[in-house]
Amino acid sequence: MGQFLSDERGTAAIEYSLLITLIGLVLAGGLHLISGSLVDAFSSVEGGLSPVQVIESKQNSRVERES
């Protein structure tokens, strides 16, 4: 048991994996906190856009705005 506890091989990999996990959790929590603000921002941009209709033919493609 003493040899197992004194063996330090692989500790760097474990430390790096714990650090990466912590960074991932912080990023996920931060995205969760600002997700409502992002939804509101994209909704307001969407509301300001006018609808378009895409008409495609074999000869050419064009975009017409709906009135």
pLDDT at 65 over 60: yes
Residue range(s) defining the domain that contains residue 15: 2-65
50 within 8 A of 64, measured Cβ to Cβ: no
For the stretch 8-59, pLDDT in tens is 788 888 999 999 999 999 999 999 999 888 888 888 888 888 887 777 766 6
| H or E stretch covering 64 | strand 61-65
| pLDDT value, residue 19 | 97
| pLDDT value, residue 23 | 98
DSSP state of 51: P
- Count up the domains in the chain and report the number: 1
- The residue type found at 6 is S
Residue 53: which of 44, 45, 62, 40 has the closest Cα?
62
pLDDT band at 62 (very low <50, low <70, confident <90, very high): low
